[in-house]
Every structure is written in structure tokens, then in C-alpha cells.
Amino acid sequence: MSNNDVGRQRQPLQHSQQLEVERSSQQMKKPRLTVSFSGAGHLIAYHLGVSKSLLNHQDFCNRIKSVSGSSSGAIAAAIVTQIPHRLDEYSDRFLKERGKAFEHFRALMEEEKDRSRVKDGPNLLVCATRSSDGSPQLFPFTAPYPDQERLFDVIRASCQIPASFHPLDLFAKNPMTYEGEGIEIDGTLYVDGGVSGVFPPARLHDQEQSHRILVTPIAVTLTETTKEYLSTLICPHKGAPSMWSRFFTTRDGIAIEPSVSNIQSLVPASGMTSSEALEDWYLRGMDDGERQLDVLMDTEFDAHES
């Protein structure tokens, strides 16, 4: 065999290797993903539906580096990061009993205590509000085996609505304080994570390289102050922003629409609803999640093609 023949045989291999390098390069260009679940009350059902859609897209899941949550959103975040394989079972229990979100989570976690887990899953960040100054505090839990009792305590704190809380506190110009209220962690009192902001931050050292997926069962709009980083918002359809949005903007720059959808969500969020209604919210979350993830995939594909 001549040297020319050898060279011709090697070319396909070299070309194949080049294609593989290009694919790897394109994969590396895709931003890392973070997910933030807002507080939701019993509308954690919506979060569970979105979580189902996320887990159905394994290519996205492999790129998620951290998942954060406040209040009942912290429970959803913990399920996605700690026991994603039990999501369907958890959802069935919650929808059937119309509540006991924390109790069901704790029971499943204790069942999984001595079982092997995925070692390279996303990190969990639970957001609670420091009672003394109203500032958000992120509690990190690294996969796959966090301190369970500490995790339970932090989630309980993140779900602890202060007795003196009023819904208008969310729109106050300055952080609200709740002295003497909450659950003590490391010598400091903490209350509901949703009090200090709608979406908990998902901490990364290079946030400019990340894409945030923000999830809430409330129809909201991102203002200019929240568009510093790339974001995909998963929430119920809200239509065009109304003139009243600016009057209902939280300290962290989230405009909450005074819409019929948001008013209707108040009853199921409080727990005064049926299993069928909660299941509707679950399905809505799954549909909204699938739709927005499809948009995100199309956007990334177009970016790589251009």
C-alpha cells in the first residue's frame, strides 16, 4: 500500500475527529443552567409539573449546575436535586392528600437515606429570610449526601411565614424585619424565603456564563433590573403587561400582574381546593415548562447555526 493510500484512509478518521471537536465546542458554548423556584404555597403543584418537564429533557438536566428555591419552592428544588426519581410518587401523594408537602418530602428522603444517589447532580440552594434585617440567605447543599436534619431545618425555615407578615410587605421599598420570629439556624432566626424576593438567586461564580430558568405559578413580568443575565421565565400566560404592573413591583424587580389568573390562584395557593384543581395546576406547569423549554432549545439551535 502506498503512502498516498494510507493518507487517503486517514482522512475520514481525521474528518470524524474534527466533527467531534466541533460538536464538543458547540456543547461548551451552551451556557450552564440554573433553576429558581419561587414561593408557591399549595401551588407547588405547578412547580412539580415544571419539574416533570425538566426531567423529561435530560440534555437540559445534565447542564443544570444549581437549583434554588424559596418556601414551597425549596421543597420542589430539593426533590429535583435529591430524589428526582421519586418525583412522580411525591406528586401523587401531594395531589391526593392536597397538602403535607414537607411531610411527604421528609418521608421519601428518609426512605432514601441509605441508598446510592447520583453523584454529579446539581447543587441545592435553599433561600430563607434573615428575620433581623430582611435579607435573603442562601444555604447550600452539595449533592449527593447533604446533612438531612440540617436540610429539613432549613426548608422549614424557608417555609415559615412570619405571624406579622402582610402581603404588601413584598412591595415595600426597604426590606421588612421580623424580630423574634422564625426558626433558629446557627444562632440566627430565619423566616420564609419568599419574603425577601420572588426568585431566590442561584449562586454561580460566573453568572454571566449561566442562563437562569425562573419558575413561578404567578403571572409576572421581568423588569429591566432583572434582565442583567439571560433568563427564561416559566409562569402562567399573562398577556401584555398592564398599566398597573408598576404599582405591584417587588424589591427584586418582579412585576406581579393584577390579573384574573393571579386572583384565581389565591384560593388553591392557600390550600382551600380540591385534588382535581391541584392536578390542573400540575398539568399547567408541565405544559408551560414544555413550551418554554422548546423555545429555549430553538433559540440555542438558532444561535449555533448563526
CA distance 92 to 177: 37
Q: Are strands 210-215 and 32-37 parallel, antiparallel or unpaired?
A: parallel
> Which residue among 36, 71, 131, 259 is the active-site one?
71
Longest CA–CA separation in the chain, Å: 87
Tell me the CA distances in angstroms from 191 to 125, 131, 133, 197, 257, one per residue in order. Answer: 15, 6, 11, 12, 25
> Which residue among 36, 70, 131, 192 is the active-site one?
192
Question: What per-residue string of b and e applies to 277-299 under the rule 16 or more CB within 10 Å gives b?
Answer: bbbbbbebbbebbbebbeebeee
Q: Do 55 and 118 touch, CB atoms closer than 8 A?
A: no
CA distance 200 to 155: 13
Residue 192 annotated as catalytic: yes
CA distance 215 to 236: 10
CA torsion, points 18, 24, 29, 31, in degrees to nearest 10? 170
CA distance 110 to 115: 10
Would you please indicate which residues are annotated as catalytic (active-site) residues? 71, 192
